[in-house]
Homo-oligomer: A and B are copies of this chain.
Amino acid sequence: MPRLQNDVLIRALLRQPVERTPLWIMRQAGRYLPEYRATRKRAGGFLKLCKTPELACEVTLQPIERFELDAAILFSDILTIPDAMGLGLHFNEGEGPVLERPVSNMRDVERIGQSEPMVALEYVCDAVRLTIRELDGRVPLIGFAGSPWTLATYMVEGQSSRDFRKIKAMLYREPEMLGRLLDILSSATAAYLAAQIAAGVQAVMIFDTWGGVLAHDAYLKFSLEPMQRIVTRLLQDQGECPVPIILFSKGVQNGLTDLATTGCHAVGLDWTTELGQARALIGTRVALQGNLDPVVLYAPDRVIRSEVKKILDQYGQGSGHVFNLGHGIQQYVDPEKVAVLVDAVREFSPAYH
C-alpha cells in the first residue's frame, strides 16, 4: 500500500493537529465536469461507469487531477447493494434510479436475505484496488455506502419518493418486516464497507440521505440503530488503528448527539445546521464535516470567498473540521467556481490552526 503523502483529511477526522482545513466535495466526480460527461458517454451510462473498474477509477481521479482536493471518493452509487441483491437497478435519463422488483412483503425480504450481494460487488473492490494504485498515495480514498434506512426507502418505494408513503406505511403497519429488512441491510453494508477497507480505502462514509423524513423516535430506531450496528462491527474488526468512519444523516438537525455517540469519528452536516452550534454540542466527541450550501457555487467569486470564511469562522480555531459542501455539488456548477472554493479554503484556513 503506497504511503499517504497528504494525510490532512485523516488527521482532521481523528481530531489530530493539522496545518490547514482539509477539503473534499460530495459528488466531486460528477456531471459538472466535462471530462466526467465524456467518460460517462463513452461508458454508455451511469451504471456501466460504476461497474467498470477502469472507468470508475478514471472518473474518481478526474477532480483530483484538476483541483487541489484533500481526498478522492470512490465513484459508485449507494444502490449497488440493492442491485447486487437482484432488485434490478436502472437509471432513466434525468429521472433518477428505478428498482424494477421492489420489496413489498416478507417473502421478498427473505429472498433478499438469502442473496449473496458481495459476490456481485467484487467490481467495487476491484475499482478500489485500481484507484489506490493510481492515486499512489497522493490523497486518501474514501469508500462509502448508503445507510440501511436509505437503501430500504428505495427498495420499498422502487424509486425516489416525495412522501415515502410505502416505506413509512410499512414502518407503522409492519415494523417487524421493516426491522428484518434493515437487519439484512446492516449486515450486508457492514460486509461491503469492510471489503472496501480490506481493498484499501482509508476512510468510509455512510450516507443516510433520507433519515430526515422520520419522526425522532422512528429515526433512532430505524435509521440510527442500523448505522450503529455497522459502526460497532467495523470498529470490532479493526483493532487499534481504525479507518475513520463518517456518518451523515441529511436533514436531521436534532439527531446530532445520537449520531456522535455511535462511536463514529466524524459527523457530516448539511447546510442548514450552524457549524458553531454543532461543534458546541458534539465537537468534543467527533470531527465535523461540512457544510457550505451547494448553491453558493452559483454566486460571484467574492461571495463564495466570504461564505467560505463564514463557515471557517463558525467552526473556529483548531482541528476536527473537514470542509465540504452540505450536499452534493450540482450539475450546473461551473468548474471554475470549484477552483475558487479550493483556493479560498487553502488561503483562509491555515489561520484557524
Interface residues of A (CB under 8 A from B): 163-165, 168-169, 171-173, 212-219, 251-254, 271-274, 277, 293-296, 298-300, 303, 307, 310, 326, 330, 332
Residues on the B chain within 8 Å of A294, using CB: 163
Residues on the B chain within 8 Å of A173, using CB: 298-300, 303
Within 8 Å by CB of A172, from B251, B272, B298, lies B298
24 contacts between A and B (CB under 8 A): A163-B294, A165-B330, A165-B332, A168-B295, A168-B298, A169-B295, A169-B298, A172-B295, A172-B298, A172-B299, A172-B307, A173-B299, A173-B300, A213-B272, A216-B277, A217-B310, A219-B272, A251-B251, A251-B272, A252-B272, A253-B254, A254-B254, A254-B272, A254-B273
Known contacts: A298-B169, A299-B173. The answer to whether A272 contacts B212 by CB under 8 A is: yes
Residues on the B chain within 8 Å of A277, using CB: 216, 254
Chain B residue at minimal CB-CB distance from A252: B272
Interface pair B254/A214, CB less than 8 Å apart? no
Interface pair B169/A271, CB less than 8 Å apart? no
Known contacts: A215-B272, A219-B272, A272-B216. The answer to whether A165 contacts B254 by CB under 8 A is: no
Chain B residue at minimal CB-CB distance from A213: B272
- Point out which of A214, A215, A299 has the most chain B C-beta atoms below 10 A from its C-beta: A215
Known contacts: A253-B254, A254-B253. The answer to whether A168 contacts B273 by CB under 8 A is: no
Residues on the B chain within 8 Å of A296, using CB: 172
Given contacts A216-B272, A251-B251, A252-B272, 5 further A-B contacts (CB under 8 A): A164-B295, A168-B295, A172-B296, A215-B272, A215-B293
3 closest pairs, A vs B, by CB?
A172-B299, A168-B295, A253-B253
Known contacts: A163-B330, A274-B254, A300-B173. The answer to whether A218 contacts B293 by CB under 8 A is: yes
Residues on the B chain within 8 Å of A295, using CB: 163-165, 168-169, 171-172
Cα distance A173–B332 when bound, in Å?
A: 15
Task: Quote the shortest CB–CB distance from A204 to chain B (angstroms).
Answer: 26
Residues on the B chain within 8 Å of A164, using CB: 295
Cα distance A332–B299 when bound, in Å?
A: 41
Task: Quote the shortest CB–CB distance from A99 to chain B (angstroms).
Answer: 20
Cα distance A310–B172 when bound, in Å?
A: 14
